[in-house]
Amino acid sequence: MLSERSIDPAALDLLKKAAKDGIETVWDRYEAQQPQCGFGSLGICCRHCIQGPCRIDPFGQGPTRGICGATVDVIVARNLLRQVAAGAAAHVDHAYDAVEALELAAQGKINYPIKDKNKLRTIAAGLGLDATDQDVNALALEVVKVAYADMANHSQTPIQWLMAHAPKERIAVWKDLGILPRNPDREIREALHQTTMGMDADPVNLVLATAKQGLVDGYAGLKLATDMQDILFGSPTPVVTEANLGVLKSDYVNLIVHGHVPLLSEKIVEWAKTLSTEAQSVGAQGIQVAGICCSGNEVLMRQGIPLATNFLAQELAIVTGAVDAMVVDVQCIMPSLAQVAACYHTELITTMPIVKIPGATHIPFSLENADEAAQVIVRKALTAYTKRDPQKIHIPDHRSTIMAGFSVEAISAALAHLDADQPLKPLVDNIANGNILGVVATVGCNNVKVTQDLFHVEMVKELLKNNVLVVATGCSAHALAKAGLMNSEGTERFAGASLQAVLTAVGEAAGLGAPLPPVLHMGSCVDNSRIGDLVTAIARYLGVDTSALPVAASAPEPQHEKALSIGTWAVTMGLTTHLGVVPPVLGGKQVTELLTQGLTEVIGGKFYVETDPLLAAQGLITDIRAKRRALGLDN
């Protein structure tokens, strides 16, 4: 049934069109894969050496060890460590690109002006650099030097970006456990070595190594990337636009940016504005840029560009018949897009040397040729517009207003209208008095194993009803935006009475004339570091460890290895971290117990798996209430 595929009316509408047009989608391919491998789902198969693959019998009637003698928990723990290391590698690679961009910008070698000088000086001061009178470009190069030093660290000293920004109480915990990371590339390399045949056979040690990879991701990936991008492109401030596939326009050239790194998408937005008059020469009213996944979140936060859709519906954007070009950079890009685009007039454009798709047009992007590549891409979209088939166009009439741009700086600025000297005080006071029960961060993906967006939306509605403030990033933010949970009307419809009163007071004081949204859009997947910064700031204000706060995290529909690495980082921060899709670990009883119980005793956080959205919300609320009681707060 179509209703089991998505709760998004735009997606359901286009799934009918896809079937009519003979288009195979991700849901069709998922059904073709049934039944999926039970060994893989439990994490109890190993192909790390060429003697295998080895499989452990979950019923105890067949093999209990791999050919080399590895136990089921060793196999599960090795597989998990490799997945989390891969997720960390994706974010560290992203961060490195952003560091390189800042270096070249400061040297005047590329056309990317440094937009947030205040953020630069704040980051520099946090790193112990003299940020007072230095020239902006010279200071940026000093910051870049620190970042590069982490990437080339040959000593035993921890990552400087972590030491400068992580809570001191957490650093002490991580040091005691021996998981403070050094050079991020070295840690990822070591994880691959540690999980090869004939290496680590201690599930506890492997799980601790996994926690270390979470720290690599959190500080050498998420935090570093966000800081670099804010310095280059500006720290987000509140913007209002729309979300869902109804943002596409039949009389405009529609160009979609899809992926994760804003180095290209920022330029495309810039050149789409510059070349908008050329659209008239092909019979269009202008150029509409819209975003999918985290490239969409990035240009939404800084440019007000509307969100088209999230991960699972990326093919359906092309099925509208109205997308003239879809340009992709890295991560979460379905290879099937080329096959779908071939059925329409859409130009699918790849841009990165590590992301090529047969059937797509490849336009190489580099920092040095950014303006030239962006112009070529925009003009490809203009040309494609002339090839549209009006009979194939169907744009669903579904879109929701969204207020986004809630960086930590923007949240502090809004709260400063209530207390200029101590901006966090109104937030903390309202948590202490119970007007806000606690805070939950929802992050991550869509997963075809569950109904698209259902878990995100239903769980968050339950949290809001119970006066829990929600912040969101990534595809979760897309889901909640489409569902109307990121505007003032959402506060009036879904927030509990005391949460609604707080959001109304802040919104009125900030001059909005309406409440803040009940869910604050904090950005892309790498921008989960903003959540970490906010948690760190609140803990510092209260003088407690982050593990003591009535704060939790959730990945309602995780599908990417990055989601596991982000979740692992959240656990290392001491947070209870919910997963709405069961990760491939259940075959290892010891590993499962370590992740859901044992880690709490040594690191403060834990994973919590619940596949029902309402039960998941109640479980998070129970966890928040326990944290409140431990802090002596009334419930």
SS3 for 434-494, per residue?
CCCCEEEEECCCCCCCCCECHHHHHHHHHHHHCCEEEEEEHHHHHHHHHCCCCCHHHHHHH
Is residue 128 predicted with pLDDT exceeding 60? yes
In the chain, % of residues over pLDDT 70: 100
Helix axes 203-215 and 561-572, enclosed angle (nearest 10): 90
What is the C-alpha separation between 265 and 498, in angstroms, rounded? Answer: 39
In the chain, % of residues over pLDDT 90: 97
- β-strand 325-328 against 253-259: which pairing, if any? parallel
HSE-CB of 395 using CA atoms within 13 angstroms: 16
What is the C-alpha separation between 165 and 408, in angstroms, rounded? Answer: 14
Span 156-167, mean pLDDT?
Answer: 97
- The pLDDT value recorded for residue 560 is 97
What distances in angstroms separate CA 597 from CA 127, 520, 566, 593, 600, one per listed residue?
35, 30, 19, 5, 6
Burial class (CB in 10 A: 0-12, 13-18, 19+), 282: middle
Count Cβ neighbours within 10 Å for each residue of 393-413 and write b for 16 or more, e otherwise.
bbbbebbbbbbbbbbbbbbee
Is residue 407 predicted with pLDDT exceeding 90? yes
- The pLDDT value recorded for residue 535 is 96
Yes or no: say if 614 and 458 are a contact pair by the CB < 8 Å rule: yes
134 falls in which pLDDT band (50, 70, 90)?
confident
CATH number of the 245-392 domain: 3.40.50.2030
Q: pLDDT digit string (tens) for 589-608?
A: 999 999 999 888 899 999 99
Yes or no: say if 137 and 301 are a contact pair by the CB < 8 Å rule: no
Structural element, H or E, at residue 256:
strand 253-259
Yes or no: say if 303 and 266 are a contact pair by the CB < 8 Å rule: yes
Q: pLDDT digit string (tens) for 198-227?
A: 999 999 999 999 999 999 999 999 999 999
Distant-in-sequence contacts of 546-549, Cβ < 8 A, 24+ apart: 546/167, 546/169, 546/170, 546/573, 546/574, 546/575, 546/604, 547/170, 547/573, 547/574, 547/575, 547/604, 547/605, 548/574, 548/627, 548/630, 548/631, 549/438, 549/439, 549/574, 549/627
- The pLDDT value recorded for residue 599 is 85
What is the C-alpha separation between 39 and 578, in angstroms, rounded? Answer: 23
Yes or no: say if 265 and 282 are a contact pair by the CB < 8 Å rule: no
- Considering the four listed CATH numbers 3.40.1280.10, 1.25.40.10, 3.40.50.620, 1.20.1270.30, the one that applies to the domain covering 78-233 is 1.20.1270.30
Is residue 179 predicted with pLDDT exceeding 80? yes
Q: Is the peptide bond before 9 cis (omega within 30 degrees of 0)?
A: no
Structural element, H or E, at residue 327:
strand 325-328
Do 78-233 and 245-392 come out as alike in CATH topology?
Answer: no
Is residue 635 predicted with pLDDT exceeding 70? no
The fold adopted by the segment(s) 403-631 is: Rossmann fold (3.40.50)
302 falls in which pLDDT band (50, 70, 90)?
very high
Count Cβ neighbours within 10 Å for each residue of 184-206 and write b for 16 or more, e otherwise.
bbebbebbeebbeeeebeebeeb
**Mean pLDDT for the chain overall:** 96
Yes or no: say if 326 and 256 are a contact pair by the CB < 8 Å rule: yes
50 falls in which pLDDT band (50, 70, 90)?
very high
- The pLDDT value recorded for residue 500 is 97
How many other C-beta atoms lie within 10 A of the C-beta of residue 379? 15
The residue ranges of every structural domain in the chain are 2-55, 78-233, 245-392, 403-631
Q: pLDDT digit string (tens) for 442-453?
A: 999 999 999 999
Is residue 634 predicted with pLDDT exceeding 90? no
Span 485-513, mean pLDDT?
Answer: 95
3-state SS, 186-223, equals HHHHHHHHHCCCCCCCCHHHHHHHHHHHHHHHHHHHHH
Is residue 171 predicted with pLDDT exceeding 90? yes
Report how far Cα 96 is from the mean position of its chain's Cα atoms: 17
What is the C-alpha separation between 165 and 218, in angstroms, rounded? Answer: 11
Q: pLDDT digit string (tens) for 413-442?
A: 999 999 999 999 999 999 999 999 999 999
Span 43-66, mean pLDDT?
Answer: 94
- β-strand 438-442 against 551-555: which pairing, if any? parallel
What is the C-alpha separation between 574 and 141, in angstroms, rounded? Answer: 34
Smallest Cα–Cα separation from 46: which of 37, 38, 56? 56
Cα(first)–Cα(last) distance of the chain, in Å? 43
Burial class (CB in 10 A: 0-12, 13-18, 19+), 133: exposed
Q: pLDDT digit string (tens) for 73-101?
A: 999 999 999 999 999 999 999 999 999 99
What is the C-alpha separation between 240 and 400, in angstroms, rounded? Answer: 11
Yes or no: say if 401 and 235 are a contact pair by the CB < 8 Å rule: no
Q: How many residues does the chain have?
A: 635
